[in-house]
Amino acid sequence: MVKYQEDNISQTFAALSDPTRRAILERLAEEDHIPVSTLAEPFDMSLPAISKHLRVLERAGLLMQEKDGRIRRCRLVTEPLQGAADWLDRYRQFWEAQLDALADFIEQTANESEVKSEK
């Protein structure tokens, strides 16, 4: 179970590692069910190159492509993003606790130094 979840998270982060793919997802967040040709317009790359990016996003579960006659439309799937956010949140909580403990230690050490210097 954990292995499967880690593989999904790895695919999500791998897909998100590319700025073009992040821009595609941002565009889909603004407007859903976009034809691939419309989705590709702002990018300075060929349609086959965009299609490769779309396949990576689709394998990661971040995107669904649907045929509408001869037109392929793309739709954002947000569930994998929530899984990645949950994973990051666990580590954020860990590091916040570590930094809080460090701040407490520094404050305690500073207070002890003040007491010693007053003597």
For 60-96, write each residue's pLDDT tens digit.
999 999 998 999 999 999 999 998 999 888 888 878 8
Dihedral sign for Cα 7, 12, 17, 21, please: positive
Rounded-to-integer distance, Cα 25 and Cα 36, Å: 12
User: Residue 35 is part of a domain; what is its CATH number?
Assistant: 1.10.10.10
Amino acid identity at 34? I
Is residue 28 one of the residues assigned to a domain?
Answer: yes
User: Cα separation of 97 and 95, whole Å?
Assistant: 5
Which residues form the domain of 56? 2-78
Q: Note whether residue 92 is domain-resident.
A: no
Of the two residues 48 and 95, the one the predictor is more confident about is 48
User: What is the reported pLDDT for 1?
Assistant: 46
pTM over 0.85: no
The one-character DSSP state at 43 is: S
Number of domains in the chain: 1
pLDDT in the model for residue 119: 62
**Residue 101 maps to a domain:** no
48 domain-assigned: yes
